Structure 1
Amino acid sequence: MISTHRVESFDGTSLAVHRLGTGRPVLLLHGLFSSAEVNWIKYGHAQTLANAGFSAIMPDLRVHGQSEKPQDPASYPSDVLVRDVRAVVDALGLDDFDLVGFSLGARTAARAVLDGLVPRRLVLAGMGLEGLAGWADRAAFFIDAIDRFSEIKHGDPAFYAVQFMKQMKIDRVAARLLLHSVDDTRTEELAQITMPTLVLCGDKDRDNGSPQALVDALPDARLATIPGTHMGCVVEPALGQEIARFLTD
């Protein structure tokens, strides 16, 4: 059974943290405009990990899911999501755990490791090198989608992003502030990520650039490919299966 409790972050923002399973802790960070429910629970990935002997710990990032969505710019300092992850780790007393992120969650996971977090193993899913080193361009796409939200029609490159925001009832004021808070990661910084790392992408997913280039930039990484596009691979059982396989190797 999934349990949910609250963690207070550095600025008092309340974060919802969901948990399934009783084994080794694995911290799972979802993607932009998504939630723990959509990324990890709905399609069975958390259950797959629980069945493999893990405790799936799944925060809703601020602005997402059941977590608070402050509209005060002061609530969005540089790398605010990294500070939220640290708050969750500290609140739960995690000192021996694995770390998994999808898309924005993968960026956050990489930034958290560079900030000093030391998971045993790391999974960067839905991510390529350009998604880490060229975040400004990626963020600009979503900020433009927010700014043109009411006028975007089918056929516009931002159409599906807007539809997903509508489906997830995203607070666009808070989301815009959050997008500005995410920092770029320079390619040369990736040499500091020394734990075994899995780069996991859909076979039709290049939304965040080249996964192979990311593997090549990391000291101890390997690539796994599953069926699907960036969003489509989330519904594939192979996503959870590949994560569980890597963490139990």
Structure 2
Amino acid sequence: MAVRTFTPGRAADRPAVLLVHGFGSDGHQDWVATGIAPALAEAGQEVIVPDLRGHGDSPAPSAAGEAGATALVADLLAVLDEAGAGTFDAIGYSLGARLAWELPTAAPGRLRRTVLGGLSPAEPFEAVDVAALHRAVADGTEPADPFTAMIAGMVRAHGDRAAGLALCVEGLRGTPFAPRSWTGDTPPVFVVGKDDMMTRGIEQVVDLVEGAELVTVPGEHHEVLAGAGFRRTVLEALTG
């Protein structure tokens, strides 16, 4: 996997922080261009910013099984192990938040603080007609289902990366998000945009975690990351 690492500007007694981007994005777009990764490094943490499989500069999956939630979380843990991060903080946005939810179970005792931004309380890809999506990517056949057609349009906009992203959709559809309980030692901070329709009903997930905090900031789903409210919440949650 492609990984960017930011060295802290000054020493601080805090673990490295893993930043996990959303679907169809990459580490640079979500975390570097928004200034969040540099800000965390300046505050004293080593910052680890991978591109998920099929995204950014990382290789595309060769099969859907390589792009399900379990496989993607295993990729993230491999990145942390390679970086020597025994304990770590994590920030995820959208798909990244869905994957970060699994980290305390996949790496017991290693996760310290967590911020889950733009998390959908349900698995959006469960409604995708996967066969129609693959056809749309392969030969341009427009899916009859409007939601699948929307996803197909988003995926095809990535050109040569479209086939890999379609496999990611299939893999994630096969490992849907179904939160039951939070297994980490410290409850996460949830952050949602005031106008983000994708996070409607997030209170149902927050209520599963005793002591969890829900913070609402301005913006819709694709505006939150670049906003001052999100950056301020992240810095307070991790460095406070």
Q: What amino acid does structure 1 have at the position aligned with 2:90? A: L
Q: What amino acid does structure 2 have at the position aligned with 1:241? A: R
1:128–1:213 Cα contact (<8 Å) kept = no
Q: 2:167 aligns with which of 177, 188, 210?
A: 177
Q: 1:235 aligns with which of 186, 203, 226?
A: 226
Distance in 2 of aligned mates of 1:235 and 1:163: 24
Distance change >3 Å, CA 73–CA 159, structure 1 → 2: closer
User: 2:212 matched to 1:221?
Assistant: yes
Distance change >3 Å, CA 197–CA 187, structure 1 → 2: same
User: 2:125 matched to 1:138?
Assistant: yes
- The residue number in structure 2 matching 1:10 is none
- The residue number in structure 2 matching 1:21 is 7
- The residue number in structure 1 matching 2:201 is 210
User: C-alpha displacement at 1:232, in angstroms?
Assistant: 1.8
SS of residue in 2 equivalent to 1:121: strand
Q: 2:70 aligns with which of 75, 79, 82?
A: 79
218-227 or 56-65, larger mean C-alpha shift: 218-227
Q: What amino acid does structure 2 have at the position aligned with 1:68? A: P
Show structure 2 runs of 5+ residues with no match.
none
Distance in 1 of aligned mates of 2:75 and 2:119: 21
1:102–1:127 Cα contact (<8 Å) kept = yes
2:103–2:111 Cα contact (<8 Å) kept = no
SS of residue in 2 equivalent to 1:217: coil
Q: TM-score, normalised by structure 2?
A: 0.81
Q: What amino acid does structure 1 have at the position aligned with 2:36? A: H
Please provide the CA RMSD for this pair.
2.7
Per-residue CA deviations over 1:106-136 (Å, capped at 9, x if unaligned) read 1111122222343111111101433xxxx2x
Q: What amino acid does structure 2 have at the position aligned with 1:174? A: G
User: C-alpha displacement at 1:140, in angstroms?
Assistant: 3.3
Distance change >3 Å, CA 240–CA 168, structure 1 → 2: farther
Distance change >3 Å, CA 59–CA 151, structure 1 → 2: same
Distance change >3 Å, CA 65–CA 78, structure 1 → 2: closer
- The residue number in structure 2 matching 1:125 is 117
Note the 1:1-249 alignment, pairs <5 A: 15-22=1-8, 24=14, 25-73=16-64, 75-76=66-67, 79-117=70-108, 118-130=110-122, 135=123, 137-141=124-128, 143=130, 147-148=135-136, 150=140, 161=151, 164-169=154-159, 171-182=161-172, 183-188=175-180, 190-249=181-240
SS of residue in 2 equivalent to 1:107: helix
Show structure 1 runs of 5+ residues with no match.
1-14
Q: What amino acid does structure 1 have at the position aligned with 2:169? A: L
200-209 or 35-44, larger mean C-alpha shift: 200-209
Distance change >3 Å, CA 74–CA 103, structure 1 → 2: closer
Structure 1 runs of 4+ with >6 Å offset: none
2:128–2:147 Cα contact (<8 Å) kept = no
Distance change >3 Å, CA 129–CA 75, structure 1 → 2: closer
Distance change >3 Å, CA 148–CA 163, structure 1 → 2: closer
SS of residue in 2 equivalent to 1:231: coil
User: C-alpha displacement at 1:229, in angstroms?
Assistant: 0.8
Distance in 1 of aligned mates of 2:44 and 2:111: 17
Q: TM-score, normalised by structure 1?
A: 0.79
Aligned residues with identical type, % of pairs = 27
Distance change >3 Å, CA 162–CA 53, structure 1 → 2: farther
- The residue number in structure 2 matching 1:12 is none
